[in-house]
Amino acid sequence: MKFTQKPWAEPFKIKVVEPLKVTTREYREQAMKEAGYNTFLLHSADVYIDLLTDSGTNAMSDNQWAGMMLGDEAYAGSKNYYYLESNVQKYYGYKYLVPTHQGRGAENLLSQCLIKKGQYVPGNMYFTTTRLHQELAGGTFVDVIIDEAHDPQAEHPFKGNVDLNKFEDLIKKVGSENVAYITVGATVNMAGGQPVSMANIKAVNELAHKHGIKVVLDATRAMENAYYIQQREEGYQNKTVAEILKEFASYSDAATMSGKKDLIVNIGGFVAVNDWDLFEELRNMVVVYEGLHTYGGISGRDMEAMARGMEEAVQDDYMAYRIKQVAYLGEKLDAYGVPMVKPFGGHAIFLDARRFYDHIPQTQYPAQALAADLYVDSGVRGMERGIVSAGRNKETGEEYMPKLELVRLTIPRRVYTQSHLDVVAYSVAELYEHRHKTKGLRMAYEPKYLRFFQARFERL
């Protein structure tokens, strides 16, 4: 037998294990029904392979755990804060740091500081918590991502790019004084984990600054984005992920960060800025919503783990493993003809529920149904990213009908092996083969905010 490809493997070995519960199909059918066909409402103990999210579900290294013992839990001026600050300066290049309990804490502070009621906030596709904080601060989100991002089959290498014409049209239409700032998300979660090119963020920076508009980077997965630039963009092949990350961040004025993603920790986030006055305002706000400005709602040990995770995550061999593992699952499913978002994303594989369950109309929540079916079939937990996640228009009350109706299979960092992913691929392929047997859902309970977290459904 000959190998067709040079194999890759995890650049770490296993020191501690966490046993998993294996359940029967009948058990899972009951559990899914009790959870209202919403995978967010399952007990994690009932889940075999948990691909709900890569947020805070990462496996920390021995080095990070050792760092946890060096937590300086002083109320003010913790040494872990200064270490985190110096690493943010070193790897991202921002001058000032305000830690927060997680990404949405950072989004709240920044939105409150920068958005005046009635202003517009363009961005390369919405993210749930980001858009909500912008709206709660009185802003209106405007999607300025390129059209390809809304097409699951468009093979664009940088599908997360901002459409400069859409951005410029908005400025012309409403006036630059009515644009609070532009958010650039890297890699774009809701588009399927799609990266932004260096050329694009640079051009966004130039256009925004020409009109006196700030660029805010959603840096949650900017390291993963940097790896894509290294792999796909002319002129970056010989640069390290760390070098690319720093250049990328240099085209923004501020960043909000969920450390629970790129930084391989379980909790934490920050907002980082270059402008002293904005920093002052953020420091005034953080004490109201999070905690003192040198701990921002997390403990010293968590800041230490985040600072160490930053050093580990930016290594080229780690990042190559990370992205290749996700692609491994994608390639397996591709071999079975399963419809997915292409190219494969950085943190997840997105099943295209619209084509997968082409007999279920969007108003009967095909992606929600597919996520439920996958759990019942094999104990694998994914998440809906479609009409349920998109929610309702705050003016008209009507459901948004997003073009993308997806099930996200998100890969936690350093947690699962290739064998786990083989089990996932097998189950998805089985469901695809018998896809016409399933029916849609109706929503039985709808929460007011971010409904996808707690909504309940019934089988039609």
Ligand X SMILES: *Cc1c(COP(=O)(O)O)cnc(C)c1O
Determine if 189 is a binding residue for ligand X (CB under 6 A): yes
Among 192, 269, 297, 345, binds ligand X (CB under 6 A): 269
Long-range contacts of 164-173 (CB under 8 A, 24+ apart): 164/200, 164/203, 164/204, 164/207, 166/122, 167/122, 167/204, 167/207, 167/208, 168/207, 170/120, 170/122, 170/142, 170/144, 171/211, 171/213
Determine if 55 is a binding residue for ligand X (CB under 6 A): yes
Q: Contact region for ligand X (CB under 6 A) — 113-121, 146-154, 253-261, 446-454? A: 253-261
Determine if 197 is a binding residue for ligand X (CB under 6 A): no
Q: Smaller CB distance to ligand X: residue 269 or 366?
A: 269
**Among all residues, which ones are annotated catalytic?**
75, 127-128, 218, 261, 385, 452
Q: Contact region for ligand X (CB under 6 A) — 258-266, 296-304, 319-327, 400-408? A: 258-266
Determine if 129 is a binding residue for ligand X (CB under 6 A): yes
- Chain Cα centroid distance, residue 379: 23
Binding string, residues 139-178; x marks residues near ligand X by CB under 6 A:
----------------------------------------
Determine if 364 is a binding residue for ligand X (CB under 6 A): no
Determine if 57 is a binding residue for ligand X (CB under 6 A): no
Among 67, 103, 160, 297, binds ligand X (CB under 6 A): 103
Cβ 446 vs Cβ 390: under 8 Å: no
**Shortest Å distance, C-beta 305 to ligand X:** 14
Q: Smaller CB distance to ligand X: residue 220 or 364?
A: 220
Determine if 183 is a binding residue for ligand X (CB under 6 A): no
DSSP line for 325-378: HHHHHHHHHHHTT--B-SSPPSSEEEEEHHHHTTTS-GGG-HHHHHHHHHHHHH
**Shortest Å distance, C-beta 102 to ligand X:** 3
Cβ 31 vs Cβ 372: under 8 Å: no
Euclidean distance between CA atoms 193 and 186, whole angstroms? 8
* Six-digit token string for 145: 């991502």
**Shortest Å distance, C-beta 171 to ligand X:** 24
**Shortest Å distance, C-beta 436 to ligand X:** 33
Determine if 386 is a binding residue for ligand X (CB under 6 A): no
**Shortest Å distance, C-beta 409 to ligand X:** 15
Cβ 452 vs Cβ 389: under 8 Å: yes
Among 133, 159, 260, 414, binds ligand X (CB under 6 A): 260
DSSP 220: G
Helix-helix angle 103-114:276-289, to 10 degrees: 120
* Six-digit token string for 108: 């709240």
Phi/psi at 342 (nearest 5 deg)?
Answer: -125, 150
**Shortest Å distance, C-beta 104 to ligand X:** 3
Which residue has 């966004």 as its token pair? 204
Q: Contact region for ligand X (CB under 6 A) — 70-78, 123-131, 380-388, 437-445? A: 123-131
Determine if 104 is a binding residue for ligand X (CB under 6 A): yes
Q: Smaller CB distance to ligand X: residue 242 or 383?
A: 383
Task: Looking at residues 276 to 295 of the shown chain, list those that interact with ligand X (rule: CB under 6 A).
Answer: none
Q: Smaller CB distance to ligand X: residue 57 or 130?
A: 130
Which residue lies nearest ligand X, judged by its C-beta? Answer: 103
Cβ 411 vs Cβ 79: under 8 Å: no
Euclidean distance between CA atoms 131 and 35, whole angstroms? 27
Sequence-distant (≥ 6) Cβ neighbours of residue 265 within 8 angstroms:
56, 58, 60, 64, 259, 302, 305, 306, 309
Q: Which spans of this chain sit near ligand X (rule: CB under 6 A)?
A: 55, 102-104, 127, 129-130, 185, 189, 218, 220, 258, 260-261, 269
